[in-house]
Amino acid sequence: MSHSTPLNQTPTQPLLTFPDAEKSPLSIRAKALVFIDPRSRRLREEMEQLAPLDLPVLIRGEPGTGKELLARHIHRGSDRSGLFVSVNCGAVSPTYADAELFGYAAGAHSGSVSSRAGWFGSATGGTLYLDEIADLALSIQIKLLSALENHEVTRVGAQQPTPVDVRLVAATSIDLSLAVAAGKFHERLYRYLSEGRLDLPSLREQPGNILPLAEYFLGIYSQRLDFDMPLISEAAQQVLEAHYWPGNTRELENVIHFALLVSSGAEILPEHLNLPGKR
């Protein structure tokens, strides 16, 4: 992990980023978390305790809070040398979920002359990150749990199982216990995931992180677009800190990006923020 310092902050209040950020498939907002607010500092301590353990992890947080970045840092803090494989469960095809998750043997599908490892095979020795895991069909949840418990998968069309060594980190924006009670999520899979749990607070619950993140985004976009970096005026800072941020860090990035493009002076003013009542 790489520690750098956001603008106007001290080294004891780190910004957590990836050193190879430009090569990362993540968006700008998903390349940095700050741990300045006391609640987020506690989260970081919990994350660093869980990372080296050989336990599954369930991350719960609202959309836009940075769950995937937290998962990536858990992987980096582990001793697992394999890949970090990220899967959006909402985008999984119900028809081909078995093949996508567990892979398929050569000839299993019409026109398939080679085999595919699937997500499990790709993540063996590493970490499989399943975003919005509640979006997986119950039938797939059962097979997922079996693969995790037995450390093997059977590819579609294969006769013999394939050994796998995968650490699961899953994320959800809902309370999975309610989905279990409603019969929409597998209870044993929920218990399996609950061995390691992290609650990622919303941005409004971490007010001490708002301005450091805003300055980070402003610096990144100014550099990327080759603009002189303006200051965030005191009035604009007050607006940022007072906003509810229903879209969390994702919304903050968009607000700062917009403000940089429409401001013409040396400061970002409230009217540049495109927030309710400030347009």
Does any domain span residue 164? yes
Indicate if the pLDDT at residue 89 is higher than 60.
yes
Query: Could you tell me the sign of the dihedral formed by the alpha carbons of 83, 43, 34, 242, in that order?
Result: positive
3-state helix, strand, coil in the chain (%, to 5): 45, 15, 40
Among 173, 202, 231, identify where a domain stops.
202
pLDDT-based confidence at 276, cuts 50/70/90? confident
CATH number of the domain that residue 224 is part of: 1.10.8.60
Looking at the fold, whether 235 and 164 belong to one and the same domain comes out as no
Looking at the fold, whether 136 and 101 belong to one and the same domain comes out as yes
Q: What is the pLDDT of residue 40?
A: 87
Looking at the fold, whether 150 and 221 belong to one and the same domain comes out as no
Beta bridge partners of 128: 85, 168
Does any domain span residue 179? yes
Q: What is the pLDDT of residue 107?
A: 54
User: How much is the average pLDDT of 251-259?
Assistant: 94
pLDDT-based confidence at 97, cuts 50/70/90? confident
Q: What is the pLDDT of residue 23?
A: 45
Looking at the fold, whether 42 and 127 belong to one and the same domain comes out as yes
pLDDT-based confidence at 134, cuts 50/70/90? very high
Q: Are 123 and 148 in contact (CB under 8 A)?
A: no
| Residue 71 exposed, middle or buried by CB count within 10 Å (0-12, 13-18, 19+) | buried
pLDDT-based confidence at 29, cuts 50/70/90? very low
The per-residue pLDDT for range 64-76, each reduced to its tens digit, is 999 998 999 999 9
For the chain, where are the E strands, in sequence order? 2-4, 15-17, 32-34, 57-60, 84-88, 127-131, 152-153, 162-163, 167-172, 197-199, 231-232, 267-268
Query: Could you tell me the sign of the dihedral formed by the alpha carbons of 79, 83, 84, 89, in that order?
Result: negative
Contacts of 52 (CB under 8 A, 6+ apart): 77, 78, 79
* Residue 60 backbone phi and psi in degrees, to 5: -115, 130
Looking at the fold, whether 209 and 186 belong to one and the same domain comes out as no
CA-nearest of 201, 181, 251, 182 to 59 is 201
Q: Which domain holds residue 75?
A: 38-202
Q: What is the pLDDT of residue 28?
A: 46
Looking at the fold, whether 194 and 226 belong to one and the same domain comes out as no
CA atoms within 13 A on the CB side of 255: 32
Among 202, 219, 236, identify where a domain stops.
202
Structure tokens at 262: 């429409």
* Residue 199 backbone phi and psi in degrees, to 5: -100, 115
Looking at the fold, whether 131 and 245 belong to one and the same domain comes out as no
The per-residue pLDDT for range 166-211, each reduced to its tens digit, is 999 999 999 999 999 999 999 999 999 999 999 999 999 999 999 9
Q: What percent of the chain has pLDDT over 70?
A: 83
Domain count, the chain: 2
Find the distance separating the first CA and the last CA of the chain, reported in whole Å.
39
Indicate if the pLDDT at residue 216 is higher than 50.
yes
Looking at the fold, whether 262 and 145 belong to one and the same domain comes out as no
CA-nearest of 30, 51, 47 to 39 is 47
| Residue 72 exposed, middle or buried by CB count within 10 Å (0-12, 13-18, 19+) | buried
